[in-house]
Amino acid sequence: MNIVVLDGYTLNSGDLDWTSLQALGQCVIYPRTMSEQIIERAGDAEIVLTNKVVLGEAELQALPKLRYIGVLATGTNVVDLEAAARRQIVVTNVPAYSTMSVAQMVFSLVLELVQQVGHHNRRVHDGAWSASADFCFRDTPLVELDGLTLGIVGFGNIGQAVARIGESFGMKVLVHVRRSHRFKELQQGGGPSDVELDNLFAQSDVVSLHCPLTEQTHHLVDARRLALMKPGAILINTARGPLLDEAAVAKALQDGHLGGLGVDVLSSEPPSADNPLLTAPNCVITPHIAWATLAARQRLLATVVANVAAFQAGAPQNVVN
């Protein structure tokens, strides 16, 4: 089978091995593909793998040989699933490969905001400690997590991992879930409390978002919900950028009501130069790297290969349409 990878660079910038995928058929791997290049590059492909290259109905109609689309991620919004189903094109994704890496990033952001490690490291290298009269130098507040309340919006694999880490820090954990029956199953044997969304924002010292981006969750965090938060509370977003009304969040930071923001995602990526969060105070931004540890990408590639092999064997797995 002809296999085309449209945008393989973010998965494998050179530190992984494509050999296992190449063994499954004639394989062409492009680091990046512009939308106008899709038809030319994938015209003869039966199998197409994509991360961020969008495959809508128009592209699917123009690819008559296409039988399978493998998304190199968990989210599948880059593919028109209904159009693919109508054309009997199987679409698969890779679930849960980055759970612990993203949970690790959540607390990297939290700890940077409460412990100010990066800030104090820079001050030491700038000479502030050398010029200090005391053995201990600090010029920002430091916050202990033990006893604080962690609110988690969404309780899938990542949300559950974040809850476990929060509890290990001595935090009280609250969650808000969409599917209460699923939460009750997870609750067998004890665990965090499920609360209404506004109550979670009002009660939490740290709020971490782990929900999908839908029409209902677009700008989930807006001016009204920010006003519910405790003065000085911290907001973390490693899910999807448009969950935040970024202008409202920037204003809450500037006004001092929101104590800190840690995000690994923005509404547009790469961000525009005028994104209000880029100049907001007490704002830590990482460039969508929570998923990208070597271990996570190794798991991702292994599952991508397994998905393709399962499809070729007539027993597709991780099918999303």
- Quote the tokens at residue 82: 């209904």
**What distance, in Å, lies between the first and last C-alpha atoms of the chain?**
21
Taking the CA atoms of 112, 117, 121 and 124 in sequence, report the sign of the dihedral they define: positive
Q: Which positions are annotated as active-site residues?
A: 240, 269, 288
pLDDT at site 161: 98
- The confidence score (pLDDT) of residue 191 equals 75
How far CA 204 is from CA of 145, 167, 221, 233, in Å, comes to 12, 14, 14, 7
Q: Looking at the DSSP assignment, which residues form a beta bridge with residue 147?
A: none
| 22 to 70, 117, 166, 298, 306: CA distances (angstroms) | 15, 44, 41, 16, 12
Domains contained in the chain, CATH given = 2-97+294-312 (3.40.50.720), 99-285 (3.40.50.720)
- Alpha-carbon separation of residue 45 from 63, 93, 158, 264 (angstroms): 8, 18, 34, 34
What is the three-state SS of 67-80? CEEEECCCCCCCEC
**Average pLDDT per 10 consecutive residues for the chain, totaling 321 residues:** 97 97 98 98 98 98 98 95 98 97 98 97 98 97 98 97 98 89 56 93 98 95 98 98 98 98 97 97 98 98 98 98 94
- pLDDT given for residue 178 in this prediction: 81
Q: Say if CB 94 and CB 74 are below 8 A apart.
A: yes
pLDDT (0 to 100) of residue 183:
53
